[in-house]
Amino acid sequence: MIQKPKGTKDLLPEESYKWQEVENIVKKIFDSYNFKEIRVPVFEHTELFQRGVGETTDVVQKEMYTFDDKGGRSITLRPEGTAGVVRAYLENGMGSMPSPVKLWYNMAMYRYENVQKGRLREFHQIGAELIGSSSYLADVDTILMGNQIFEDLKLENIKLRLNSIGCPKCREEYQKILRNFLSKNLDKYCDTCKSRFEKNPMRILDCKESKCKKLNENAPKMIDYLCDECKEHFENVKSMLKNAGLDYEIDSTIVRGLDYYTKTVFEFVDETTELTVLGGGRYDGLVEEFGGPKTPAIGFAVGVERLMDMYKNKTEETKPDLYILSVGNKENQKAIELSKNLRKKGYVIEKDICERSFNAQMKYSNKINAKYLLVIGENELEMEKAKIKNMQTGNETEVKLNLEEISKVIKD
Ligand code: HAM
């Protein structure tokens, strides 16, 4: 038997029902902040991610699903959503829309990762991008919107971790100081860290190897070297979040794994598993990097699989409102007519599609937990009347075989 590729998941009906419930709750939050949905292609030109996400990142260096298409173009399955959304923003002239432009998405992502708990090769992100505001108020609204997801899903043991990684100006200064610190023990770091020393020394700070973590203990922190503008911005974000009653922890090891970030970065972490469920931050240079005008932006993405692992609510699957039992040609015709019209009215209707016997249909309607049962036999057809049975109470009600009368009984 052919099996699914490693790092992918089948979502069976029981679970997809829960996903829909969560997706609907999150969509309502986005609606309330007036974010609009965007859908972008599953694949893009590889260059988009090389330039957007960054050549030195793990995502670009090790994790992309990249191939040449039949026309010889290098194509990559999207490993994240921000680069594609910003490309679409520019390509579709969304810069001329009322600013800021607020977009959300719910899309599958692809990363060739070491598969483990909470780490898949095909996974889903629900994300939001706010393009066109440099104000700390945009950071605050974005973070509050992210927090609302956990609140409305009633998820606990979630911690907000916050950091600022400055702007290119103050970061350059800081990187010199950091390199100076790292160079003293560079030979003791792991090979990945060594390879990041020149181009991306800040990533060394979020290495998960214990020996590197230990060496990093006294490393200089970016937040201590922010320029005045970045410092003021971060102070404002912190005080507004505090005023809004949102607890956070400053975590100077958050540098994020994607190169486009500037200033505020944040993660909502599941304290039980220590997995980051939501990650995001400001990316004030990305629109310009893709050839657009200088346009500040901020956003986040939630890992849906990780979110679902936390969402333990019992969701009841939809039960059919009515099973229409019929045997025979004329009876089936009536069942088809009634079910078509009742379905149009929004009822969930089941009927025979296997040419089963009367008894087999009775058994089946029980198995699928139909709320009501309507039997159409020769007599019923002739009289244009039938009995609807409430399958839970056993009560029977006689109705005319028309939409109004049937709806009246099953509508509760
Ligand atoms: P990210 O931190 O790479 O950020 O991913 C966001 C979230 O996606 C993570 O916190 C995690 O929950 C989930 N995730 C990432 N990789 C995997 C995986 N292999 N398996 C399961 N879940 C995973 C971004 O992608 C940015 N584009 C977020 C953003 C939007 N920043 C600004 N705007």
Instruction: Kindly report, as residue ranges, where domains of CATH 3.30.930.10 are found in the chain.
Output: 13-167+227-310
The three-state secondary structure class of 127 is: strand
Q: Is the CB of 300 under 6 A from ligand 1?
A: yes
Q: Is the CB of 80 under 6 A from ligand 1?
A: yes
Instruction: Kindly report, as residue ranges, where domains of CATH 3.40.50.800 are found in the chain.
Output: 322-411
Contact 341, 349 (CB under 8 A): no
Contact 123, 108 (CB under 8 A): yes
Hey, what CATH class is 322-411 in?
alpha beta
d(CA 311, CA 24): 14
Strands of 84-121, DSSP E:
101-110
Q: What is the pLDDT of residue 182?
A: 95
d(CA 238, CA 162): 9
Q: Which atom of ligand 1 is nearest to the CA of 121?
A: 19
Q: Is the CB of 166 under 6 A from ligand 1?
A: no
Task: Tell me the mean pLDDT per 10 residues along the chain, length 412.
Answer: 98 93 97 98 98 92 96 98 98 98 98 96 98 98 98 96 96 94 94 90 89 93 96 98 97 90 98 96 97 98 97 84 97 97 97 98 97 96 96 96 95 82
79: preceding bond cis by omega (within 30 degrees):
no
* Residue from 311, 365, 370, 371 nearest 15 by CA: 311
Q: What is the pLDDT of residue 317?
A: 80
- What's the gap in Å between 238 CA and the centre of ligand 1? 23
- What's the gap in Å between 82 CA and the centre of ligand 1? 10
Kindly report the backbone phi and psi dihedral angles of residue 251, in degrees, each rounded to the nearest multiple of 5, phi listed first: -130, 105
Architecture of domain 13-167+227-310: 2-Layer Sandwich (3.30)
Q: Give the up-direction half-sphere exposure of residue 3: CA atoms within 13 A in the CB hemisphere.
A: 4
Q: Is the CB of 146 under 6 A from ligand 1?
A: no
Take residue 385 and report the two structure tokens written for it: 């009347």
